Amino acid sequence: MPMPFAVTISYQLLFYYITLLPESFVNQHRTNHYTRLGVTPWASEIEIRRQYRELSKRYHPDTTELPLDVAKGKFQELNEAYATLSNPKRRSLYDLKIGYSPFNVIEAPADEEKYPSSNSAYLDPIERPLSGGEIFVLFILGVTFLGCLILIVVLGLSRSDTIS
């Protein structure tokens, strides 16, 4: 079945505009920290860490069969990408810089001295915000607790006349 005329025109316009983009812009978006690590921009911190560990084993200058200068370059790129993407503040700034996130979802605390950030590349459980699933579980836990309290009060009131 042939493509509709409007779809054919829109594909032609898309390819035309892509060819007008400067080469530096196209290359910048092909080789970013996400593509270096082989993850998507919406990848979780755990996925990023797993992919980093796998690639760092592959490209480490001591364990790879690549030439030493190539291996060092690849390994430094991986370290730079992981250092940026594993830190929530640096990642949100990087996302804004390359245009992946129109909204700054993870915001820095208002008082930096009150909440010092670690310079570690590893995840710190204190710094990360609660996920939607964790908030939902806490809500269900609270509702269950209140339901148990109400049940205890109702049972206590209904049996109070048989005790005396």
Average pLDDT over the chain, rounded to whole?
75
Quote the pLDDT of residue 127.
62
Q: How far apart are CA 92 and CA 115, in angstroms?
A: 18
Note if the pTM is more than 0.85: no
Give tens-digit pLDDT for 18-72: 545 444 444 444 678 888 888 888 888 899 999 999 998 888 888 888 888 888 9
Q: How far apart are CA 136 and CA 126, in angstroms?
A: 19
| Helices and strands (H and E) in the chain: how many | 7, 0
Quote the pLDDT of residue 117.
54
Quote the pLDDT of residue 59.
87
> Greater confidence, 100 or 144?
144
Question: What mean pLDDT comes out for the span 106-121?
Answer: 52
**What pLDDT band is residue 95 in, cutting at 50, 70 and 90?**
confident
Question: What mean pLDDT comes out for the span 128-150?
Answer: 92
Best CATH choice for the domain 1-115 from the list 1.10.3720.10, 1.10.287.110, 3.40.190.10, 1.10.10.10 = 1.10.287.110
Q: How many CB atoms lie within 10 A of CB 139?
A: 10
Q: How far apart are CA 6 and CA 90, in angstroms?
A: 42
Quote the pLDDT of residue 2.
54
Give residue limits of the domains in the chain.
1-115, 130-164
Give tens-digit pLDDT for 148-158: 999 999 988 88
